[in-house]
Structure 1
Amino acid sequence: MASRRLALADVATEPRTLPSRYLTPDDLVEMFELPSVETVYQWRRKRTGPRGFRVGRHLRFDPADVRAWVDSRREGAAA
């Protein structure tokens, strides 16, 4: 079975290389090396993280939205 480990590079810089599936909160924890999945849910409550959506009771993130969020964070960072 292939590893599900993700890296920020997997989110891609070009749309054609985006993963073929939506990302889970656990994927974001792994990608950004966050302390816990609760951080992702706090971002959602505070509206500070990438845009997510619900599929039933499950939270999912479009890789393109995650990339856009990362890019917006970079623009605000000091060079």
Structure 2
Amino acid sequence: MNDRYLSVDQVAELLGTTTRFPRRLIEERRIRYVKVGRHVRIPESAVREYIASRTVEPVGLRQTGLRTVA
């Protein structure tokens, strides 16, 4: 249980968004969260998982047969 629990404000700052975005993720249950009384906390690992699952890797460039016009 070495996971750090972040507030909605901290997650928003980490993602570079407004607080509305992490709140929407919670409401739509697109990210794991923990209710501590009336407080909502998001495990840091859940934020890492969310980012990793939405990371788009670049595609390799294909060799194209470029022809020169003489």
Q: TM-score normalized by structure 1?
A: 0.60
Q: How many residues end up aligned between the 2 structures?
A: 57
Is structure 2 residue 13 aligned with structure 1 residue 30? yes
Q: Which has the higher strand share?
A: 2
Q: Which has the higher helix share?
A: 1
- Percent identical among aligned pairs is 28
| Aligned positions of 1:1-79 closer than 5 A | 21-35=4-18, 37-48=19-30, 50-74=31-55, 77-79=56-58
Please, what is the CA RMSD of the aligned residues?
1.9
TM-superposed CA distance for 1:38, in Å, is 2.1
Contiguous gaps of at least 5 residues in structure 1: 1-17
Code of the residue aligned with 1:25 in structure 2: it is V
Larger radius of gyration: 2
Contiguous gaps of at least 5 residues in structure 2: 59-70
Q: TM-score normalized by structure 2?
A: 0.66
